[in-house]
């Protein structure tokens, strides 16, 4: 498969061969699901915590005597039935991370990128060097490339690009080394520099 290379004016500058094998059919769908679930689970802080009956402040004294008051029996001020009492089966700090093999992560990324390529959601530019860190210049480039909606820019980050893009809504930066399945699936469009796309291809061929 070949993909067109554009310059910053949106004009075609040749074609680039996709160096990694694309995945056809339903192969890799389960791997994508597993990796995305694991990624989102790892984003959870897992710090929610409640106190059990044994952890809330209180005394061991019985609230009132067992018989003769006409009220229901009560043995503790820390009872979950009472205001200020403990919580039954409440959350405790925990680690939500799920283990996914390297082979599964590799298959998932290849599957996700294959689908985005076949859908025409990937744009490759020869270079993405900005002359200034001004947002106006970056927005102008995005407009000429006809990139609307959320966009992930995969490029070798430099100071001008980072500063120019950070205030643009729905635009995120990633490197070819850090690109993952969730990054590929989330935005409407993917913008690669030629160098970054080739590095991703090498990574998918090597792993």
DSSP state letters, 139-164 = HHHHHHTT--SSEEEES---HHHHHH
The CB density around residue 85, as the number of other CB atoms within 10 Å, is: 17
CATH of 2-36+101-206, one of 3.40.640.10, 1.10.630.10, 3.40.1370.10, 3.20.20.70: 3.40.1370.10
Q: Give, in degrees to the nearest 5, the angle at Cα 9 between 8 and 12.
A: 90
Q: What is the DSSP string of 164-206?
A: HHTTSTTEEEE-TTT--HHHHHSSSEEEEEHHHHHHHHHHHHH
Q: Which residue has the tokens 């996700």?
A: 112
Tell me the pLDDT of the chain (207 aa) as tens digits.
889 999 988 888 889 989 888 998 889 999 999 999 999 999 999 999 999 999 999 999 999 999 999 999 999 999 999 999 999 999 999 999 999 999 999 999 999 999 999 999 999 999 898 999 999 999 999 999 999 889 999 998 789 999 999 999 999 999 999 999 999 999 999 999 999 999 999 999 875
pTM of the model: 0.84
Domain residue ranges of the chain, discontinuous segments joined by +: 2-36+101-206, 45-95
């Amino acid at each position: 498969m070949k993909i067109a290379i554009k310059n910053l004016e949106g004009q075609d500058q040749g074609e680039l061969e996709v160096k990694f094998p694309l995945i056809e059919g339903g192969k890799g769908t389960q791997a994508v699901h597993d990796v995305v679930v694991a990624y989102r689970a790892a984003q959870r802080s897992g710090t929610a915590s409640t106190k059990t009956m044994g952890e809330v402040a209180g005394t061991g004294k019985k609230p009132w005597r067992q018989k003769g008051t006409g009220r229901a029996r009560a043995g503790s001020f820390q009872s979950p039935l009472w205001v200020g009492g403990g919580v039954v089966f409440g959350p405790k700090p925990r680690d939500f991370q799920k283990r996914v093999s390297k082979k599964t992560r590799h298959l998932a990324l290849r599957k996700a990128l294959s689908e985005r390529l076949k859908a025409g959601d990937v744009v490759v530019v020869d270079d993405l060097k900005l002359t200034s860190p001004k947002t106006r210049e970056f927005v102008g480039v995005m407009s000429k490339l006809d990139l609307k909606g959320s966009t992930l820019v995969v490029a070798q980050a430099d100071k001008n690009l980072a500063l120019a893009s950070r205030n643009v809504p729905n635009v995120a930066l990633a490197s070819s080394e850090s690109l993952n399945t969730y990054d590929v699936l989330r935005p409407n469009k993917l913008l690669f520099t030629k160098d970054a796309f080739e590095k991703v291809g090498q990574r998918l061929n090597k792993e």
